[in-house]
Structure 1
Amino acid sequence: MMGFRPRTEVTLMEDPFALLLLQLRKKSGRTQEQQADAVNAVSGRVTVTRREISRYEHGETIPTNHTLGYIAVACGVPYEELLREAKGARTRRAQARRRREHEEDMKRRMLLEGAVAGVTAAAAEPWGRLATALRRGTRVDEISANALIERAADLHVQELDLSARLLQHKVESHLDAITAALPHAGEHERALTIAAGETAALAGWVAWDLGEHTRANSYYKVTAECAASAGHPPLRALALTYASYGDRPSQRKLGLLRQAAQDVRGRGNATATAWVHGRYAEEAALLGDSSEALKALERARFAYDFADHTREQPWVRFVTPYRMDSLTLSVYGQLRRSELSTTADDAVARLGSSLPDGGVVVLGDLAVALLRGGSLDQGLDVSRKFVAAALAKPNTMGKERARVVASLLPMGERDLAYHLCQLTA
């Protein structure tokens, strides 16, 4: 094991690798900002920020392999051993995610079994308490309300791993549950109204992905109504930004995103702000407006430096660092920017050997960016990796990426085109 492993006692919420990075910095006598400066001095460019150093030390993200090399030099430790520790951390994250998914499946199974058999033991779970409260006509308690709100947030994360068809049933069932709870919400009415809007927005996104565009627009309209009812403008921004992916003229899309940017102004909206400006940058790049696209991308990246997607509004949890990589790659590829190659390398390194949530989307955006940017061989290689990953983990956004990748393939890539067509079917 590494001789510089931290001796700090590890709690259930702490990861040994995060503690290791924290101790390495403290041994160097640096603040987080000084650590970022030291790493950037090694790399010769702005590789990390103070906020990213904080994320590393809190176990929120794991540095890319490139960044690990710079950290190793800055802290005077062997790169190979630091890389080994990072690999262990990635494995632990994957295992924890699988455990959570298993526990959620077990809870849902218990709920369904309880509903069918009428087992009163189901009332021990939040879902069971909610069902009992509704049957008795009593108010929804805090635990049940929080369970509904947390479930709405979780569905936005599941979007990265599930196909639209599988996700649709879950989302619409949850929307039914919140709708049934609202008349009994009492003091939790505003919070549940916001959760209902978040769920309706996701239902709209899934419907659009399935080609049900009229239905999608109806869901977005309901989301806006929830935002108005709850007095919560960021919720309308969610609907507007989802709607910006739809089949509308580009200038109309920019108008939706400008309104969304207004709706996410203020404290506590840094992640939402980053996503909205990132989407604006994508659409401006598609119009060929390089200046406007790069300014919007800079605003997005600056906002994300102050963001915490795990602690802000529940629905922003899908706006991970991988998602920001996707937005950046999309803009650079469309504009054929020289930064594309370095950004692509960093994005692949950040993904690591075990594909994280959202990794399929990043591979798709990377393939599109490289093919558009003229890096044909590298683009085809990444396209094949994207196909393999998307077939293994179909999701709502991978399908759209497959369409774009297929449209950019050169003649002669029939096998690859065939597999991409399977993804879009």
Structure 2
Amino acid sequence: MAIEFADLLLRLRRDAGRTQDQQADAINAVSGRPTMTRREINRYEQGKNIPTNHTLAHIAVACGYSLEYLQREAAAARARRKKDACREAEEQDDVKRRTLLGSAVGAAAAAEPWERLARALERGRKLDADAVAGLADRTGVLHASEGGLTARELKRMVESHLDAIVAALPRAGEHERAMTIAGGETAALAGWVAWDLGDHARAHAYYQVATDCAEAAGHPPLRALALTYASYGAATPAEAAQLLTQATKDVRGPGNAAAAAWAYGRLAEEAAGVGDETTALRALDRAHFAYDFADHTAEQSWVRFMTPYRMDALALSVYGQLGRQELAETAHRAVDRLGRELPESGVVVLGDLASALLRGGDIGQGIHVAHQFAAAAAARPNTMGRARARAVVSRLPASEHELARHLEQCTA
């Protein structure tokens, strides 16, 4: 975990086109104090030190990156380092015990058999609750990271975490169900990343194994996650609606309100796309109703992306496709909300908002938001952003040819 975080800091510096000395200067410029050095930057990037939250705030500004995400990843790295330190201490104690045993039986007997037995015992040791919780928490962090990282940035992290779960699953013991669910949630995210990168066959395979995990664990909400992700790549609107209808059934009951809001919102989008106004509006009402009861602190970790901004985006998409009069009111409410805080997952929200404002005739505000969307889409390119860029370009006035050209580059 510490190495992954070190890689992130290294990537941020390289993306900014800076040397380690220049990175230190940039951070010092933000902090107003000449305390950061090239040596400390190097230690961060080697995983030897982890910046404090105070320093992370300066790094976030210097690199134009999300402070919330940096703090979350740093906290995970510190927790991992602490566990590694404890494990290293235990291993050192084991070495001492084996050394004492070797002294007792003589140098000639201090050969490999008991060491092989010690390793076999280590491999067979069951996971404790803390280890399982750590893997599950990491799964949630990765799902939350999807809004702030591109698919290419996320791919290695997700696949590495899935490998860790696969390796740990045989030792899960009484925690097998929890580990199976975490594995399925990670596989579903890996499928979404693969789809975003255009590898649809790989995405389908990941979604299928996530569904298998849901069945093995007896956990329908996990299947809903895989089905809702899969709906974006469905061959036809009818197929997407079928997947989403099943997903809404899988998230019935307490503890799934945010997931239900997402599934119903997606169903509303698909119905609106084919002009089924009755189904679309009914599904959107159910999405809003479910979201009113959502408790993100107690529900599935993967629904952290279901924020008020995401609900705005779903409503804008539905009302825009149906040409409903609610579009203008929803768009202005979304503008007010974004005026207070731009979410990490702003690409989708800004794209839907710009399109809605232009469609509704508020050209000045629509162009303003379209510029924000273009910047966000360039920073975090993804498949959904490209689709929204095409929609925005189709509604821009001819005078905005430079903005249109920039957005067309985002769709390439």
Q: Structure 2: how far apart are the matches of 1:279 and 1:374?
A: 25
Quote the residue 1:121 is aligned against: 85
SS class of match (1:154): helix
Matched, 1:346 2:338: no
Matched, 1:381 2:368: yes
Offset, 1:390: 3.0
SS class of match (1:254): helix
1:100 to 62, 68, 72: 72
Once the two structures are superposed, what CA deviation does each residue of 1:74-129 show, in whole Å capped at 9, x if it has no partner? xxxxxxxxxxxxxxxxx9xx865543344345667x59xx9xxxxx637379xxxx
Q: Structure 2: how far apart are the matches of 1:133 and 1:408?
A: 65
Matched, 1:146 2:133: yes
Once the two structures are superposed, what CA deviation does each residue of 1:165-184 show, in whole Å capped at 9, x if it has no partner? 00111111111111111111
SS class of match (2:352): helix
SS class of match (2:240): helix
Quote the residue 1:264 is aligned against: 251
Q: Structure 2: how far apart are the matches of 1:171 and 1:133?
A: 28
Once the two structures are superposed, what CA deviation does each residue of 1:253-283 show, in whole Å capped at 9, x if it has no partner? 1111111111111221111111111001111
Quote the residue 1:337 is aligned against: 324
Quote the residue 1:160 is aligned against: 147
Q: Structure 1: how far apart are the matches of 2:387 and 2:308?
A: 20
1:38-53 correspondence runs (5 A)? none
Quote the residue 2:282 is aligned against: 295
Superposed CA RMSD: 2.7
Q: Structure 2: how far apart are the matches of 1:171 and 1:276?
A: 23
The AA in structure 2 aligned to 1:350 is R
The AA in structure 2 aligned to 1:142 is A
Quote the residue 1:180 is aligned against: 167
The AA in structure 2 aligned to 1:344 is A
Change (3 A) 1:182 1:285: same
Q: Structure 2: how far apart are the matches of 1:100 and 1:400?
A: 30
Q: Structure 2: how far apart are the matches of 1:374 and 1:287?
A: 23
2:230 to 223, 243, 256: 243
Q: Structure 2: how far apart are the matches of 1:206 and 1:96?
A: 21
Confirm or deny: 8 A CA contact 1:196 1:226 kept in the other structure. yes
2:221 to 223, 231, 234: 234
The AA in structure 2 aligned to 1:319 is M
The AA in structure 2 aligned to 1:256 is L
Confirm or deny: 8 A CA contact 1:326 1:362 kept in the other structure. yes
Change (3 A) 1:378 1:415: same
Confirm or deny: 8 A CA contact 2:228 2:243 kept in the other structure. yes
Confirm or deny: 8 A CA contact 2:328 2:360 kept in the other structure. no
Q: Structure 2: how far apart are the matches of 1:309 and 1:344?
A: 25
Confirm or deny: 8 A CA contact 2:211 2:222 kept in the other structure. yes
Q: Structure 1: how far apart are the matches of 2:343 and 2:74?
A: 17
Q: Structure 2: how far apart are the matches of 1:389 and 1:340?
A: 23
The AA in structure 2 aligned to 1:339 is E
Q: Structure 1: how far apart are the matches of 2:296 and 2:121?
A: 33
Once the two structures are superposed, what CA deviation does each residue of 1:342-390 show, in whole Å capped at 9, x if it has no partner? 2112212222344222233211111122334444443222111111233
Confirm or deny: 8 A CA contact 2:255 2:298 kept in the other structure. no
Count of residue pairs the alignment pairs up:
319
Quote the residue 1:313 is aligned against: 300
Compare relative contact order (CA 8 Å, sep 6+) and give the higher one, 1 or 2.
1
Confirm or deny: 8 A CA contact 1:162 1:395 kept in the other structure. no
Change (3 A) 1:253 1:417: same
Confirm or deny: 8 A CA contact 2:207 2:227 kept in the other structure. yes
Change (3 A) 1:399 1:161: farther
The AA in structure 1 aligned to 2:246 is Q
Query: Taking structure 1 as the reference length, what is the TM-score of the superposition?
Result: 0.69
Matched, 1:324 2:288: no
Name which one, 1 or 2, has greater alpha-carbon Rg: 2
5+ long unaligned stretches in structure 1: 1-90, 115-119, 126-131
Confirm or deny: 8 A CA contact 2:241 2:270 kept in the other structure. yes
Once the two structures are superposed, what CA deviation does each residue of 1:236-267 show, in whole Å capped at 9, x if it has no partner? 11111111111411111111111111111122
Matched, 1:192 2:156: no
Change (3 A) 1:179 1:334: same
Q: Structure 2: how far apart are the matches of 1:353 and 1:98?
A: 21
The AA in structure 2 aligned to 1:156 is H
Once the two structures are superposed, what CA deviation does each residue of 1:269-316 show, in whole Å capped at 9, x if it has no partner? 111111111001111111111221111100110111111123201111
2:158 to 144, 150, 171: 171
SS class of match (1:413): helix
Q: Structure 2: how far apart are the matches of 1:176 and 1:337?
A: 47
Confirm or deny: 8 A CA contact 2:224 2:246 kept in the other structure. yes
Aligned sequence identity (%): 61
Quote the residue 1:404 is aligned against: 391
Offset, 1:391: 2.9
The AA in structure 2 aligned to 1:213 is H
Q: Structure 1: how far apart are the matches of 2:383 and 2:143?
A: 11
Offset, 1:153: 1.0
5+ long unaligned stretches in structure 2: 1-60, 90-118
The AA in structure 2 aligned to 1:416 is L
Q: Structure 2: how far apart are the matches of 1:123 and 1:417?
A: 55
Quote the residue 1:40 is aligned against: none
Q: Structure 1: how far apart are the matches of 2:120 and 2:226?
A: 31
The AA in structure 2 aligned to 1:149 is A
Quote the residue 2:209 is aligned against: 222
Q: Structure 1: how far apart are the matches of 2:404 and 2:342?
A: 23
Once the two structures are superposed, what CA deviation does each residue of 1:195-218 show, in whole Å capped at 9, x if it has no partner? 111111111111111110111111
Offset, 1:189: 0.5
Change (3 A) 1:283 1:304: same
The AA in structure 2 aligned to 1:121 is A
